[in-house]
Amino acid sequence: MDKLVIEGGISLKGAVTVSGAKNSVLPLLSACLLTNERCRIKNVPNLRDVITMIKILRSLGAYAEYSNGEVIVEAKTIKSHIADYKLVSTMRASFCVLGPLLGRLRKAKVSLPGGCIIGVRPVDLHLKGIKALGAKVEVQAGYAVVEAKGLRGAHIYLGGVFGSSVLATDNVMMAAVLAKGKTVIESAACEPEVVDLANFLNKMGAKIKGQGTPCIEIEGARHLHGTDYHIVPDRIEAGTLILAGAITGGDCLVRGAFKEHLGAVLDKLDEAGVRIEDADGGLRVRPSKKLKPVNVTTLPYPGFPTDMQAQIMSLMSVTPGISIITEKIYPDRFMHVSELNRMGANIMREGPHAIIEGRKSLSGAPVMASDLRASAALVLAGLVAKGKTEISRIYHLDRGYENLEIKLQKLGARIWREKE
């Protein structure tokens, strides 16, 4: 197993480019199952989750190959409609093969992904939407078993207790593109990754309107064809790199950081006093004089993303004053709190709230990554901490950040990977 070692205290300087969006590429790869023709997906980050998705596509009988930032998928025939527990349990996003398998084969058996370290993560909305399209849905021995003679369009309200669901919207959209007639998804997720998937499906011949709004309309098509597609930059990686600049008082150009995807994050950073400017092909973080504490509530897009909650907590840990972070998507997503406290932060958790009393500085320590974004938060804390931080279990980081330590090295950080 690898660990990351960071010697903190350097203000980052220079330019860095954001990779393609993990949360776009995973559902997009599964959407390739909807056609027997060849699809070429470009700007694909080299991530553990991408490799897992490729393995799943192969296990279903599709050709799938990654090379130099591109994935070619050709699902001429699909020999299995079963996505196995061993693969699905390692990555929740693999549950989004359910919609495409059902659309293409009219049947699918996909392992239920279960919960994970960030909390209970049900799939009731996925199944509700699939059922509304006319499929018979059963849960048998840990699998979702779905079957339909013919899918028909329907009017579906897809909101849940925590608001909209990204992958449920993706799954239902992917099943509906080959259904007969019109489907309307109300309370659809508006995330840019959902828009990316809808745009890809439209390039394949689907007829989807309203992506990016809470009401998506899909006119069923008889057939989808192969296409090429370029994935959008990863807004969460962009936000994380911007915070790396901000937390170290650096001056960094983050190429591929799209302002329009980062509205809520930029608004909070502005309130905190972080100076960010439009720059050539991205955003530039400038050294800020004095940072101010802020209160943050995570919400579905366009609200503040839960996937940036841990990282902004690191920034608030070194911003004198009291900040309150409220987690409204995954109320238990606070595994990073105790690790940040081991580095000298002063954070108290109270239900879905974290109360942070910002310190002047943190001190390096051995810490353990618990999940993807928590790992990123520890990296940020390590960059600003005095002394040496060693982050173990960074396989979590490798699931979703492509070469993060190399990108940070380019900005001048003293960060490297070692074998544990």
Binding residues (CB under 6 A) for ligand UD1: these are 23, 26, 92-93, 121-126, 160-162, 165-168, 189, 193, 305-307, 329-330
Question: Taking Cα atoms as reference points, which of 172, 235, 232, 236 lies closest to residue 208?
Answer: 172
- DSSP labels, 150-171: S-B--EEE--BTTB--HHHHHH
Radius of gyration of the chain (CA): 21
Give the span between the Cα atoms of 206 and 82, in whole angstroms.
Answer: 25
Give the span between the Cα atoms of 100 and 73, in whole angstroms.
Answer: 14
Q: Which is nearer to ligand UD1, 69 or 303 (CB)?
A: 303
- Least separation in angstroms between CB 288 and ligand UD1: 28
Q: Which is nearer to ligand UD1, 310 or 318 (CB)?
A: 310
Could you say which of 116, 190, 215, 252 is catalytic? 116
Strand-pairing partners, residue 285, are: 252, 276
- Least separation in angstroms between CB 381 and ligand UD1: 20
Instruction: Confirm if 72 and 63 have CB atoms less than 8 A apart.
Output: yes
Q: Which is nearer to ligand UD1, 14 or 159 (CB)?
A: 159
Give the span between the Cα atoms of 322 and 345, in whole angstroms.
Answer: 12
- Least separation in angstroms between CB 155 and ligand UD1: 18
What is the DSSP secondary structure assignment for residue 307, as one 8-state letter? G
Instruction: Confirm if 416 and 5 have CB atoms less than 8 A apart.
Output: yes
Strand-pairing partners, residue 366, are: 390
- Least separation in angstroms between CB 104 and ligand UD1: 21
Told to judge if 116 belongs to the known catalytic residues of this protein, a careful annotator would answer yes
Q: Which is nearer to ligand UD1, 188 or 221 (CB)?
A: 188
Instruction: Confirm if 237 and 168 have CB atoms less than 8 A apart.
Output: no
Q: Give the torsion sign (CA, 201, 171, 369, 329).
A: positive
Strand-pairing partners, residue 14, are: 252
- Least separation in angstroms between CB 400 and ligand UD1: 8
Give the span between the Cα atoms of 304 and 235, in whole angstroms.
Answer: 12
CA distances, 258 to each of 20, 261, 304, 380, 401 (Å): 12, 5, 15, 21, 17
How many Cα atoms are found within 13 Å in the side-chain-facing hemisphere of 144? 28
Q: Which is nearer to ligand UD1, 31 or 168 (CB)?
A: 168
Instruction: Confirm if 59 and 43 have CB atoms less than 8 A apart.
Output: no
- Least separation in angstroms between CB 123 and ligand UD1: 4
- Least separation in angstroms between CB 419 and ligand UD1: 28
Q: Which is nearer to ligand UD1, 197 or 381 (CB)?
A: 197
Q: Which is nearer to ligand UD1, 310 or 337 (CB)?
A: 310
Q: Residues with catalytic annotation?
A: 116
